Amino acid sequence: MGLIRAAMARHGAAVFAREQTRGKGQRNRSWASQKDQNIALSLVLEPQALDPSLPFLLSMAVALATADLYRQLVPEDISIKWPNDLYWRDRKAAGILIENLWQGRQWNFAVAGIGININQTDFGELQGKAVSLRQITGRSEDPEALALRLCACAEARYTALLADPGSIIADYNGLLYRRGQSVRFRRDNRVFEARIDSVNAEGLLLVHHALPEHFAVGDVEWVLG
């Protein structure tokens, strides 16, 4: 963000961090990453060609790019947990946070922060809930080399988003975590169970229990056993 405000970063710039001391996640949660073990990447995007009323489409494209990289190494059991976490089976493999810079109604910049667990094996209190590539494959990888491949995946998905937004929505829902399954959610003090149907272009999670219902990002929390 500092580079953007200083006019030193343009569309396509990528910043790779070997160490992250104040990683951020969704809902003000922290993202912990050990030094030199993982991908901590920020991509600078200038999304003026995108529909500013549908910013979640960019989030979908970035999540798919992350999944594309992961599936090159782990072909099975990869899914996207709404809004944009990457899961292997029921464990978190990567997290994404997109921050936007607006000038009035003009969407000037988006910074896509992507954290992917590569070689880390100790997740402290999140042990059993987080997972790394090394834990899945038994192999160590070069995070910087994988970050370059991630940039190529992001460029491909961004190009696809410009050409055919519908394909991004379809691919995202094709990888949607627990789609068609009943899941427990919490909204305020209410815990309820609903079947996950899809996510629409506005980023609303469409579910069904007694009646169809939809939720915006931040409206509900997952309650997973």
Closest CA to 191 of 223, 213, 166: 223
Cα separation, 80 vs 93, whole angstroms = 10
C-alpha span between 182 and 209 (Å, rounded): 9
Residue 26 scores a pLDDT above 60: no
Structure tokens at 217: 């990002």
Partnered with residue 126 across adjacent β-strands are none
Residue 185's SS3 state is strand
Looking at the predicted structure, is the pLDDT value of residue 163 above 90? yes
Assess whether pLDDT exceeds 90 at residue 55.
Answer: yes
pLDDT at 174 over 70: yes
Across the range 75-99, mean pLDDT stands at: 96
- Residue 171 pLDDT level (bands cut at 50, 70, 90): very high
Which has more pLDDT, 71 or 221? 71
Burial 13-31 (b: 16+ CB within 10 A, else e): ebeebeebeebebeeeeeb
Lowest mean pLDDT among 34-38, 79-83, 139-143, 163-167: 34-38
Query: How many CA atoms, within 13 angstroms, populate the side-chain half-sphere of residue 52?
Result: 12
